[in-house]
Amino acid sequence: MKRWFLCLLLLVFASGAFGGNALPGDSVYQFNAPLVDQDGHAWHWADRRGHVQIVSMFYTSCTMVCPLIVDTMKITAQAAAEKNDARLGLLLVSFDLARDTAGVLHGYALRRGLSPAQWTLARADVDDTRKIAAMLGLQYRQLPDGDFNHSSELVLLDAEGRIVARTNVIGRVDAEFVHAVRKALAEK
């Protein structure tokens, strides 16, 4: 379903609906990192152009805040749009490259009931992971025991990949952020 949508999106790109326009200078799609999603499919960071997305970073074995990040993305999406509204993408990038294989990400998505229509759980290589975090203004740091310290923020990307809002309110809906999501969807 999701792949089908992506293909459609690519067609739309190819037909010139977006492709003809130059990217804004501050678009995170200026950098086109290769990623792999929970189904093992390779895709590129900038493939998401044309999509409003809520993005954050996490790792699946995190028991403290990461489940809350996922929940917060979920309730934020529900507050801002129809359930599983495919116009709003939810993207989680893992920084645990040792443990979060595509298979592990897949299992996590199943367990948490994260519909592939809306959710992408992805990983990149070491270098690009640090770069993605830098672009999104997120911080993380690996601890000797393999766990991570990391900032907990949701970042809103508009269709052109500009960061239009961010929130560090976790565990409940940030009304201002929801408002920003609605606005981004309306402008698309």
Q: Which residues in this chain contact another protein in the complex, by CB under 8 A? A: 23-28, 30-31, 62, 64-66, 68, 130-131, 133-135, 137-145, 147-152, 168, 170-171
Q: Starting at the edge strand that comes first in sequence, how are the strands of the sheet with 163-167 ordered? A: 42-44, 34-37, 119-123, 88-94, 52-58, 154-157, 163-167
Closer Cβ to another protein, 68 or 185, answer by number: 68
92 class by beta-carbon count within 10 Å (0-12 exposed, 13-18 middle, 19+ buried): buried
| Least Å from the CB of residue 133 to another protein | 6
| Least Å from the CB of residue 169 to another protein | 9
Closer Cβ to another protein, 123 or 150, answer by number: 150
| Least Å from the CB of residue 173 to another protein | 15
Closer Cβ to another protein, 74 or 150, answer by number: 150
Closer Cβ to another protein, 15 or 32, answer by number: 32
DSSP collapsed to 3 states, 75-143: HHHHHHCCCCCCCEEEEEEECCCCCCCHHHHHHHHHHCCCCCCCEEEEECCHHHHHHHHHHHCCCEEEC
| Least Å from the CB of residue 89 to another protein | 19
Closer Cβ to another protein, 61 or 115, answer by number: 61
For 73, the 3-state DSSP assignment is helix
| Least Å from the CB of residue 114 to another protein | 19
